Structures are given as C-alpha cells and as structure tokens.
Amino acid sequence: MYQKAGNGKAFMPSAAGALSKPAVTVCYSIFRSIHGKPILPEAEKNTIQVIGRMMALLDALARRDDAVSLKELSRETGLHSSTAHRILGAMAHSGFAERAGPGAYRLGIRLLELGNLVKSRINVRQIALPFMQALHSRISESVNLGVRREDEIIYVERTSSGRASVRVVHLVGARAPLHATAVGKLFLLEDGPQKLREYARRTGLPGFTPTSITTLSRLEKELDRARRHGVAFDNGEIEHGLRCIAAPVRDDAGELISGLSVSAPAERYDAEWVPFIKQTADAISRALGYVPKK
C-alpha cells in the first residue's frame, strides 16, 4: 500500500524481510569496494552473491571468541582466500569487521551499535504495548509508537481505532519525514537549533499537504510550541485531514528513544487527550527505567 503525498512521492511500509536502508547502503558500499563500480540492474545477481558471502563470513567470525585467520575463514566458508580478503576489507571499512593483527579478523563494533539499536527498539515496543492498549481503550483512537531512523520516523507499533479506514502513514513499518510528523518534531526539538538548521538545509523541508510546514521559521515556532506544551502536534501535515499528538518516551539514561502518538481524523480530534498521552508516555518511560530530574 502506498500513500501519495502532495509532491507526488509515496510513503510505504517496509516489506517484511526487506533489507533496511542501512543494510542496503552497507551492501552497496561493499559491492563498490570489491568491484569498483556502482550496482547496475544486470549486476543484481552478483550483488546478492556478495551479500551471501558477507553473511557467511560474519557467521564464521561469530562462532569464534578470538580473532580468526584469513586462512581459517576461507576454509570455513569455502571462499577463495582472495575473495574472502576483498570482502573482509570492505567489511572492515564499514565497521562490520576489524583487523586483529596480520591476516586475522574479528567482529566489528558496528555490529554492537546496530545490536543495541535493535535491542532498544524491541524492548520499548514490548514494554509500550500494554500501555498503548490501555490508552486506546480509554480514548478509542489509534495509538502509535515511532522511532527515529536518520531523517525519518518509522512506526514500530500501532493499535487501530477500528473507527475508520487504516491510515497508511501510520502502518507498522511506514516511514515519514521528521518535520511533518508529531513524533518527528519531538526528535527535532531534542536535536537543538544547530542540528535543526542542518536538517532543514539537508532535506529542504518538503511539503505534502496544504498545512505542511515548509520553512525553518515556521518549524522553529512549532517546536517552541512543543517545548511549552510538552507534546508535539501534526495538523494534517503528512496526511490531509489526519491530526496527531505525540509525547516523548525516554530510556533509563534519559535519552529520547521513541514517541507515543495518537492520531485521528480532524473531526474527532480532542485536545483533552493531551494529559492522557503524556501520562502514558511517562509511564512507558518509567517502565524503561527513566527517572525524571527534580
């Protein structure tokens, strides 16, 4: 399912089992470093083969506590040593492997970084769901949980209101730009003024509906409003006629890791939901170990 935005672009949920954007970027860079050229349609088969070989090397490294020699890796994976060496070199460049002395490798720190991201998102999703269901029962509207991925929000959990057709933009796995969503604005507020300006220059603040925010000055005013209220708003900025309120969810270190939002058609929107949304987001944060500063 696709949602056509005002500029003709489409937002779509990620297909189950599809490679994530970072994974595709890594595989692309590895293919280029090995073959010295960009991926072309006729090279798709070779690209998949390289990915398979990379995964075989990762698995071989994961089975060992200590560094593994190139010779041993070649033997375990069945790859020619020159092929294994080229792929491992690209993996080391991307942080997926590390050189541990002459001709030896071990798993890279990038895997730990990605693993921690996955862990935090799985945990918050599992912990948040009962609270989301309770809020859903109270207000009878869709409750969403979104996390940040670079310049986008990805929705990782949702309770449907059952009172209207499903909104594509809030399907689990769907992505949307930070500045056009309530959850995204929470992250932009957290970034601070300098990073906000960098985001605006980088993305150009594209519009999707007549109410989309497309200038930095308007976005700054909107984020100031979010700062004052403790919640962020979306006034039909990503999908016409759909309004949204979002509150921050923090982990035990106080880091903003996700946003809890309620979305509803404009005719059912109720500002009285704000305290309930904030209370629910705060409860999820406490369950994650967050202790507010006094």
Q: What's the CA gap between 188 and 196, in Å, rounded?
A: 6
Strand partners, 96: none
Tokens coding 278: 């904030």
What sign for the dihedral angle of Cα 95, 148, 164, 207? negative
Residue 234: predicted pLDDT: 93
Q: What's the CA gap between 205 and 52, in Å, rounded?
A: 38
State the DSSP code for 260. E
Residue 112: predicted pLDDT: 86
Q: Are the C-beta atoms of 165 and 184 separated by less than 8 Å?
A: no
Helix (H) or strand (E) holding 248: strand 242-250
DSSP assignment of 39-73: --GGGHHHHHHHHHHHHHHHHHHHT-SS-EEHHHH
Strand partners, 244: 234, 263
Residue whose structure tokens are 């590895």: 30
Cα dihedral value 189, 190, 191, 193, nearest 10: 50
Measuring CA to CA, which residue among 244, 291, 289, 293 is closest to residue 127? 289
Residue 23: predicted pLDDT: 46
Q: Are the C-beta atoms of 86 and 73 separated by less than 8 Å?
A: no
Q: Are the C-beta atoms of 132 and 143 separated by less than 8 Å?
A: yes
pLDDT along the chain (294 residues), means of 10: 38 38 48 50 71 91 90 93 92 91 90 79 83 91 91 87 48 84 96 95 92 93 95 91 94 92 89 93 92 78
The residues, any chain, with a CB within 8 Å of residue 197's CB and separated by 6 or more, are 216
Burial 93-124 (b: 16+ CB within 10 A, else e): ebbbbbeeeebbbbbbebbeebeeeeebbeeb
What sign for the dihedral angle of Cα 52, 119, 123, 143? negative
Q: Provide the H-helix boundaries in the chain.
A: 21-35, 44-62, 70-77, 81-94, 109-139, 182-191, 193-203, 216-229, 274-287
Residue 38: predicted pLDDT: 53
Measuring CA to CA, which residue among 31, 25, 26 is closest to residue 46? 31
Q: Which residue segments constitute the domains of the chain, with CATH numbers given?
A: 21-107 (1.10.10.10), 113-287 (3.30.450.40)
